[in-house]
Amino acid sequence: MYKNKIILGGAQIGSNYGISNKKKLRAHECFKLLSFCFKNNINTIDTSINYPNSEKIIGEYIKKQKQQRWNIHTKISIKSKFQVEEQIKSMIKRLGKPPKVLYFHYFKDYLNKDKRRIVFTLCKRYKIKEIGVSFHRVYDLKYISKLKNISIIQIPINIFDRRFIEKKTISYCKKKNIKIYARSVFFQGMFFLKKYRFYDKKTKIILDKITDILKNYKQIKLYELSFIWVNGLKYIDNVIVGVNNINQLKENLNIRSTKEKKDVINKILKIKLNNDKFLSPYKWKI
């Protein structure tokens, strides 16, 4: 099992986030999911101010289960000092306590001196212990050395998208004791679909090669391979996993690595996908 690295992704809690998720989890289903997580040593949730319903449901559960200790990580977008403080106040009200980690949702906000000062000041005021940065563009990694007083970075990484794995990034983070969290391990739900989406003709040729490999291993699922590979990367401290239901989480916890699966992973890793538009979910036109 891989319980030790898993952080529950909170985007699906109270919403139908992700391209493979057509059904929104109701509050009582979310409560069951959170209860199952805690019993299986998963007590950290990653969410965002952009998912207010998620924070609301998480907060309702935590307030009812006061004996359970949860770590909440959340993200904010920054437009003004007033807006940031209001976001923090509202999230604390919904959650019933300050989050343990507050992320800059966009690296460009962190690079802005004034915005950075505002966030650091407010985190101290509202007793938020750690500050992180979420990366979306590979280009931003050029400025990784500008990270100061940051505990965690989040990067999208899966068996298709390996763009953010750079020796410079990894070595700098380890040198500065910055933890690296992986998100989008299932490619925003793409790996659960029967057919890929948002690709062009050139990308289709590459995807067909991967499909041909998988045809020889009908019992092996692409999402399993991606999870096994990302989870096995030594420099990845935690893996954020979003699920559409409790059964999906149970399946993830029971994923096992085998020699055959490792062989398939190595075959897929030899194939490179370089289409930035396809690999960047925020560019998809859903």
- Domain residue spans of the chain: 3-283
**Burial of 50: CB neighbours in 10 Å, binned 0-12, 13-18, 19+:** middle
At 199 the pLDDT is 85
At 17 the pLDDT is 65
Q: Taking the model in full, what pTM does it have?
A: 0.93
Residue 21, pLDDT > 70, answer no
Task: Give the Cα separation of 147 and 134 in Å (integer).
Answer: 12
Mean pLDDT of the region 105-134: 95
Mean pLDDT of the region 222-231: 96
At 197 the pLDDT is 87
In this structure, the number of other CB atoms found within 10 A of the CB of residue 29 comes to 16
Mean pLDDT of the region 50-57: 85
Residue 279, pLDDT > 70, answer yes
Query: What tens digit of pLDDT does each residue of 263-275 get?
Result: 999 999 999 998 9
Give the range with max mean pLDDT: 7-11, 15-19, 78-82.
7-11
Task: Give the Cα separation of 249 and 35 in Å (integer).
Answer: 12
With cut-offs at 50, 70 and 90, classify the pLDDT of residue 1. very low
CATH T-level assignment (fold) for domain 3-283? TIM Barrel (3.20.20)
Task: Give the Cα separation of 154 and 102 in Å (integer).
Answer: 12
At 184 the pLDDT is 94
Residue 218, pLDDT > 90, answer no
Four-point Cα dihedral 50, 248, 158, 27, nearest 10: 10
Mean pLDDT of the region 131-136: 96
Task: Give the Cα separation of 2 and 255 in Å (integer).
Answer: 8
Cα-flanking dihedrals φ and ψ of residue 84, to 5°? -65, -45
In this structure, the number of other CB atoms found within 10 A of the CB of residue 280 comes to 18
Q: 12-26, 83-97, 219-233: which range is least confident on average?
A: 12-26
Mean pLDDT of the region 149-174: 95
Closest CA to 160 of 180, 190, 128: 190
In this structure, the number of other CB atoms found within 10 A of the CB of residue 56 comes to 17
Mean pLDDT of the chain: 91
At 123 the pLDDT is 96
At 38 the pLDDT is 96
Residue 51, pLDDT > 80, answer no
Q: 30-44, 139-153, 189-203, 212-226: which range is least confident on average?
A: 189-203
With cut-offs at 50, 70 and 90, classify the pLDDT of residue 3. very low
